[in-house]
Amino acid sequence: MTSAPSMSSPLPRLFIISSGTERVHSTTFQIATPPPTLLLQQLALIPPHLRCMVQLREKALNHAQLLHLAKLAKGANSAGNVRFVVNGSLEIARLAELDGVHLPEGSALLTTMRQAAPTMLLGCSVHSLEAAQYAAENGADYLYFSPIFDTPSKRQYGAPQGLQALETVCKRLSLPVYALGGITVERIAQCRNCGAYGIAALSLFQALDKLPHLLEQCNNLLES
């Protein structure tokens, strides 16, 4: 099991969220070279000196498929510069030797997982200050606060949170807050100025031909 973050091991500032469309053609390791999924291609393009987070968010996969993908992803990171979390499953996180689990807003599993795995990295998605405070008080190590900007896939849920709400959450809490939703390179400085520890994104990191440079650029903006 990987230890939870400490002052000597700060969390990376970039969070790559998997596409949600990953396909697993086999749940065994009998294939010498598995078909390259988008996630595996992304992992191959992360500069070895650049630390980042990856969230395995594949709701369409069954337990065996997700476990297999998690093991493939973990094995693909030979440089050891990526920390992995998986949606919702402490069992998969343990079996694949991932770093932690990511949970939805208000999940009752947060408290039980923290008790069952005190050194496991636990993160939560939140959409209000109240939800952020609940997560912080019940053992979360980091938060996604979203959506900050307009995002087509989230319009059905109402208006975006905006930068002022992001700043309020960041000021009220001491744990790392990642800005999510409509994030572009041009908006990173705004999020950072509001106190965001880092950014999380899905579509931003899907252009493989630009990925190495883009990751460097985003990380530099967050570290500056």
How far apart CA 76 and CA 82 sit, in angstroms, is 10
Task: Look at residue 61 and tell me if it is in a domain.
Answer: yes
Task: Look at residue 177 and tell me if it is in a domain.
Answer: yes
In CATH, what number is assigned to the domain containing residue 195? Answer: 3.20.20.70
Task: Look at residue 191 and tell me if it is in a domain.
Answer: yes
**Separation of CA 116 from chain center:** 21
At 170 the pLDDT is 98
Domain of residue 42 covers 14-22+35-223
* pLDDT 10s digits, 99-117: 999 999 999 999 999 999 9
- Stronger pLDDT, 146 or 34, i.e. the higher one: 146
For the chain, give the mean pLDDT: 92
At 28 the pLDDT is 59
* pLDDT 10s digits, 123-155: 999 999 999 999 999 999 999 999 999 988 778
How far apart CA 82 and CA 73 sit, in angstroms, is 10
Task: Look at residue 149 and tell me if it is in a domain.
Answer: yes
* pLDDT 10s digits, 37-75: 899 999 999 999 999 999 999 999 999 999 999 999 999
Packing angle, helices 129-137 and 162-172, rounded to 10: 30
- Report how many domains make up the chain: 1
Task: Look at residue 30 and tell me if it is in a domain.
Answer: no
Instruction: Give the pLDDT band (50/70/90) at residue 32.
Output: very low
At 4 the pLDDT is 47
Task: Look at residue 208 and tell me if it is in a domain.
Answer: yes
Instruction: Give the pLDDT band (50/70/90) at residue 9.
Output: confident
What integer is the mean pLDDT of 150-176?
91
Task: Look at residue 28 and tell me if it is in a domain.
Answer: no
Task: Look at residue 7 and tell me if it is in a domain.
Answer: no
pTM for the full predicted model = 0.92
